[in-house]
Amino acid sequence: MPELPEIETIARTLAPEVESRLIQAVDVFDASAVEPGVDAFRELVLGRRIARVARRGKLLLLHLQAAGGKDGGTVAVHLRMTGRVLAISTGQEPKRPRVVLTLSAYSSDEGPVRLVFSDVRRFGRMHAFAPGDINHWHFYQNLGPEPLTMTVQDFRACLAPGGRPSRARIKALLLDQGVIAGIGNIYADEALFRAGIRPDAVAATLGPGCRAVLFAAIQAVLIQAIAENGSSIRDYRDAQGNAGAFQNFFQAYGRGGQGCLTCGTIMQSLRVAGRTSTFCPRCQTP
DNA sequence: ACGGATTCCTGATGGC
DNA sequence: TGCCATCAGGAATCCG
């Protein structure tokens, strides 16, 4: 459930805590949390500096610097459903950590900071890459465009991969990271509600006007969610441990059986692309 | 070839 | 009160 707005919020709250710090220790408490294996991960990360924190789709990226200011590769963190990345200072104890990176102090009157990756359901991963190697990672290389920087023309093209309009259902395309990067179940449902399009509408049947409306809805919902620091259903927290507030603005996600906020009709739920999808049968059309 | 279904995980939840 | 089935879902993998 950490999707684009949540990862963006984590990146923004993590950056001032960890950027320019040196990784002085690497502790892996759960071997399945790191790629490509515990020893290789430590080798790729230990002694590097965190030069810059960034985001691509739902990936949190730590760009590293090696001695002499040379490119030190990249760590890509995928939180999947319940992953968290927290920056904690000395004295605080991380709960159920899978990986802990101990970072240098900025000055002598300040203690070290730890970057903690935890994840109760253990679906998330930290992938370490040597310089340039992330570009050979299949998942990364096939990521679709960023919804907040693409144009409406790009978006129309997304829905017609290879020039042929897709016969897939629109929600399946929105959730496909190779089509457009960063959207998950929450923001797909919210954007489709705002655009008045049913999640099971066949993409090829949506006209140009309809696609433009959907694109505007996607951007609007992502921008508002970032402004609210993401959505905290249960697990999501930013790098300082704070919850987001966008869950208070949900109009579709998780509202099955409740009245539509626009027309009062009972919201229905449907399984599309293996996900629970909630929509208003009156406001949203095929 | 393409799209849908299954699998991996654990904690919260609801019914009996 | 306690137990058990069910549900949550991102993406790799399997299947039709």
CATH of the domain at A14: 3.20.190.10
Span A204-211, average pLDDT: 90
Q: Using CA atoms, how far apart are residues A218 and A19, in angstroms rounded to an integer? A: 30
How many angstroms separate the CA of A81 from the C1' of C1?
A: 32
Strand C contact with A12 (CB < 7 A) = no
- Nearest nucleotide to the CA of A168, by C1', is B3
Confidence of residue A93 (pLDDT cuts 50, 70, 90): confident
CA of A280 to C1' of B16 (A): 33
Q: For residue A143, tell me if it sits in a domain.
A: no
Q: Is A32 in contact with A65 (CB distance < 8 Å)?
A: no
Instruction: Say if residue A160 is in the same domain as residue A256.
Output: yes
> Domain with A193 in it: what CATH number?
1.10.8.50
Burial A103-113 (b: 16+ CB within 10 A, else e): beeeeeeeeeb
Q: Which of A12-16, A151-155, A176-180, A207-211 has the highest mean pLDDT?
A: A12-16
Q: Are A120 and A156 in a shared domain?
A: no
Q: Please report, rounded to a whole number, the percentage of residues in chain A having pLDDT higher than 70.
A: 99
One domain for residues A123 and A45: yes
Residue A146 lies in a domain: no
- Only one residue has tokens 């655009």, namely A195
Q: Do residues A157 and A103 both lie within one domain?
A: no
Residue A243 lies in a domain: yes
The catalytic position among A21, A49, A55, A58 is A58
Question: Does a structural domain hold residue A144?
Answer: no
Question: Please, what is the average pLDDT of chain A?
Answer: 92
Co-location of A32 and A94 in the same domain: yes
Residue A171 pLDDT exceeds 80: yes
For chain A, how far is it from start to end, CA to CA, in angstroms? 26
Domain closes at, from A98, A130, A162: A130
Q: Domain check: are A185 and A250 in the same one?
A: yes
Q: Are residues A110 and A189 in the same domain?
A: no
Indicate yes or no: strand C within 7 A of the C-beta of A185.
yes
Extract the tokens encoding A167: 């016969």
Scan residues 217-256 of chain A and list those with Cβ within 7 Å of strand B. Answer: 234
Give me the pLDDT at residue A286, please: 84
Domain assignment of residue A135, yes or no = no
Rounded CA separation A259/A230 (Å): 24
Report if CB A168 to strand B is under 7 Å.
yes
The distance (Å) linking the CA of A261 with the C1' of C13 is 39
- pTM of the model as a whole: 0.95
Query: pLDDT by residue (tens digit) across A37-71?
Result: 999 999 999 999 999 999 999 999 999 999 999 99
Asked whether strand C has any atom less than 7 Å from the CB of A119, the reply is no
Residue A282 and residue A260 in contact, taking contact as beta carbons nearer than 8 Å: yes
pLDDT at A162: 67
Q: Looking at the structure, tell me whether residues A237 and A160 fall in a common domain.
A: yes
Is residue A13 situated within a structural domain? yes
Rounded to the nearest 5°, which phi and psi values hold at A188? Answer: -65, -50
- Write b or e for each residue in A133-171: b if 16 or more Cβ atoms lie within 10 A of its Cβ, otherwise e: ebeebeebeebbbbbeebeeeebbebbebeeeebebbbb
- Domain of A46, in residue numbers: 4-130
Q: How far is the CA of A44 from the C1' of B9 (A)?
A: 27
On whether both A94 and A158 belong to a single domain, the answer is no
Residue A26 lies in a domain: yes
Q: β-strand A125-129 against A71-78: which pairing, if any? A: antiparallel
> Domain for residue A45, yes or no?
yes
If asked whether residues A70 and A163 sit together in one domain, one would say no
Number of domains in chain A: 2
Q: Please say if A2 is a catalytic residue.
A: yes
Q: Are residues A202 and A167 in the same domain?
A: yes
Specify whether A195 is located in the same domain as A246: yes
As a whole number of angstroms, the distance between CA A36 and CA A25 comes to 18
Statement: the CB of A234 is under 7 Å from strand C: no
